Structure 1
Amino acid sequence: MDTAAQRRLILVVEDEPTLADAVVARLAAAGFDTIHAGDGPSAVEAARTHRPDALVLDVMLPGFDGLEVCRRVQSERPTPVLMLTARDAESDLLAGLGSGADDYLTKPFSMRELIARVQALLRRVELVRQQTLLSTGREGGRLRLRGGDGDAARELEIDHAARRVRMDAVDVHLTPIEFDLLDCLARRPGVVASREQLLAEVWDWADASGTRTVDSHVKALRKKIGAEWIRTVHGIGYALEAAPSQAAPRATESAWARGEPGSVP
């Protein structure tokens, strides 16, 4: 039993009784508290009433679908979401990520992998919380990057402490995992990060079984900040294709990128 899972409440949203019972039972065996909802409206109400630590959310639901559930839940209170989908099309996966889901599993899946994904989501949320507390009161922590040339040049600003992204001074709304992915790439502009490295640093996964998850999130991120910012290195991974802006304090940027003491973690 994972002691970190104790007293964590997971809302399972699944309308197929056999699968719902199996997921609830496996989560309970792993040390989680659980509640169950079988349709869209009751899922939104359960999230509002019980304030779960995470959702395991099926896409196909009566009432309204899991995408709408995810949008409504995230608009009221940001919550980690692992989405379950029977469809494997890229457009369906991007729609799920675009609605605010942090990760997805394609049916059929193993219960062992489901538990590992939920645990990784919760560890990442706790890590973000700790980093935010450490960042409070520190100066700097902003990274400004420039992409393109001449009149086509654009500036991307990432505020690590505030977890805020702006493109040409306009806010870009990212999901928590999209921010973490961009933040990870931005620490080393131009340096290629392998899919396995991104899984370990962003998703806290110890194996390489979810490399397609990385690809799907990169596609979703490109739609929001522009495809030109992230370069694909085929067979390896991705790199943020940008240079530090002259407007940004160079010392702050380099200290942050190197992880020196006193810099934002």
Structure 2
Amino acid sequence: MQNRVLLVEDDVELRELLARYLSNQGFTVREAATGRDGLALALGQHCDIVVLDIMLPDINGLEVLRQLRAETHLPVALLTARGDETDRIVGFEVGADDYIPKPCNPRELVARLQALLRRVAWDQKTEANASRTHGDLRVEPGHRRIYQNDEALDLTATEYEVLQVLLAHAGSVVRKTDLMQWALGRRLEAYDRTLDMHISNLRKKLGNDNPPRIETVRGLGYSYRVPG
């Protein structure tokens, strides 16, 4: 079965270029030129993953993402202007799973989407009853959910991946290079703050414990501390 990608981009030339490339790589592609059309298609369950441009003619991509996150946990990769760190930071705060700078390399886009979809598919194959408990958190891999005191945490697909890796190694240090590869499916590159932003969001959603339950180990990575 082909993976269905929704491409929300108002630049006709770029959208057609990416759509052709994605189709040639085995994706079923749906296209939208406006935020409202993209939102309707995504909420109508017409896709497995969304590629969302931030600059759209009606409502911008960040607002589309906010509305999507109120209804669905679909994986979303943002298309952002190269070097515009503010958009990336806000995008991750709103709930983006990844970002691709424009002008984007179609091969990189495909690699990023395939990595996101592999992570979703891996957890969906896991038995629903194979839960794990870590203090006040419970991981339900079959449903891709993590509960805190029996309340489901509102996590993006990537936040889920990052947290479940840290929980699987609770009490030990997970190197940033390993966490990037295991949770995001790609190598850590210089000046890439993607992982740091996801960690920051997770700390807020977990309750801003003091000291934080996700601890930064300088020069190495992160460690999850089970509250006791």
Give the structure-2-normalised TM-score.
Answer: 0.85
- Equivalent in 207, 224, 227 of residue 240 of structure 1: 224
Q: Secondary structure at the match of 1:78?
A: coil
Alignment partner of 1:164 is 2:155? no
What is the CA distance between 1:86 and its match in structure 2? 1.1
Q: Secondary structure at the match of 1:76?
A: coil
After superposition, give the CA deviation of every residue in 1:110-155 in whole Å (9 maximum; x if it has no partner): 2211110000111111011112xx133x5x52221xxxxxxxxxxx
Task: Give, as a single letter, the amino acid of the residue that structure 2 aligns with 1:56.
Answer: V
Structure 2 vs 1, CA of residues 88 and 219 (structure 1 numbering), >3 Å: closer, same or farther?
farther
CA distance in 2, matches of 1:171, 1:123: 23
CA distance in 2, matches of 1:241, 1:90: 30
Who is 2:161 aligned against? 180
Who is 1:16 aligned against? 11
CA distance in 2, matches of 1:186, 1:229: 11
After superposition, give the CA deviation of every residue in 1:191-236 in whole Å (9 maximum; x if it has no partner): 111122112221233x334853212211221222227122222332
Unaligned 5+ segments in structure 2 are none
CA distance in 1, matches of 2:103, 2:197: 19
Structure 2 vs 1, CA of residues 242 and 89 (structure 1 numbering), >3 Å: closer, same or farther?
farther
Q: In the TM superposition, what are the counterparts of 1:48-63 in structure 2 within 5 Å?
A: 48-49=43-44, 51-63=46-58
Give the structure-1-normalised TM-score.
Answer: 0.74
What is the CA distance between 1:103 and its match in structure 2? 1.0
After superposition, give the CA deviation of every residue in 1:159-184 in whole Å (9 maximum; x if it has no partner): 334522316x6653222221221111
Q: In the TM superposition, what are the counterparts of 1:109-124 in structure 2 within 5 Å?
A: 109-124=104-119
Who is 1:141 aligned against? 132
CA distance in 1, matches of 2:63, 2:156: 15
Percent identity reads: 34
Unaligned 5+ segments in structure 1 are 1-5, 145-155, 246-265
Task: Give, as a single letter, the amino acid of the residue that structure 2 aligns with 1:223.
Answer: K
Q: Does structure 1 conserve the Cα–Cα contact (< 8 Å) formed by 2:216 and 2:222?
A: yes
**Structure whose CA Rg is larger:** 1
Q: Secondary structure at the match of 2:193?
A: helix
What is the CA distance between 1:158 and its match in structure 2? 2.9
Q: In the TM superposition, what are the counterparts of 1:242-257 in structure 2 within 5 Å?
A: 242-243=226-227, 245=228
